[in-house]
Amino acid sequence: MARQKQAAPSGGKRISVNEAFRKLRPALGPHGAENEMNAAMLRDDKPARLFCDGEVVDPNFIRDHLLVKGPGSRDAAGRVRRSAEIVATRALEKPVESYTWQMDADGIEALLRKPSRTQVAIREIAAEKWPDGYECISTAQIIKIVGAELKKRGIHVPHRSTFERALGRKKS
């Protein structure tokens, strides 16, 4: 397996891929958590590095060989996954489940602090609809008006809690 030559920094806590998924799922939903984990592993600034058997995995290797799949998705045999896991898109030296996969815990926490694309869109639309501010507008009214605009733009309308986080009315 292709890995970076340098040793991984020893100070950061590492968590399982499933634990990382479980941390992101409440804020991003199951598909959002998968998408965010996959995108974060490929970023140059590496906010959510992937480790294989204790070594940092090269993002170029990830791009060509690996994906995160969450619970509920199906494996190659058609069985429903019970937890989030790394899936090989190309053959590895050994079966993918024989490796120990972990992610940088601080990197996962950083993803929770970063607003999602949907949250950014909610803020932008709310600012367009209420240029003088939406602080006095009820969340229900914002969901009704902004939700309709999200649908027009082809963006999935999220749960109320996502609107509340996007508008600064609820902490993650």
- The answer on pLDDT for 59 being more than 70 is yes
Quote the mean pLDDT of the chain. 88
* pLDDT-wise least confident of 8-22, 90-104, 113-127: 8-22
DSSP category for residue 96: G
- Measured distance CA(108)–CA(147) in Å, rounded: 28
Q: In the structure, what pLDDT confidence band is assigned to residue 11 with cuts at 50, 70 and 90? A: low
Higher pLDDT, 6 or 120: 120
Distances in Å between the Cα of 126 and the Cα atoms of 24, 59, 154, 166 are: 25, 36, 17, 10
Task: Provide the pLDDT for residue 2.
Answer: 47
* pLDDT-wise least confident of 35-39, 83-87, 136-140: 35-39
Contact 68, 85 (CB under 8 A): yes
Higher pLDDT, 6 or 104: 104
- The answer on pLDDT for 79 being more than 60 is yes
Order of strands, sheet of 14-16, starting from the edge strand that comes earlier in the sequence: 14-16, 101-104, 50-52, 55-56
Contact 103, 49 (CB under 8 A): yes
pTM strictly above 0.75: no
Question: What number is the average pLDDT over the span 117-144?
Answer: 94
Higher pLDDT, 44 or 93: 93
Q: In sequence order, which residues have a C-beta less than 8 Å from that of residue 121 and are 6 or more positions away?
A: 150, 153, 155
Q: In sequence order, which residues have a C-beta less than 8 Å from that of residue 65 and are 6 or more positions away?
A: 88, 89, 90, 92
> What's the token pair of residue 117?
């694309």
Give pLDDT tens digits for 86-116: 999 998 999 999 999 999 999 999 888 778 8
**Number of C-beta neighbours around residue 122 at 10 A:** 27
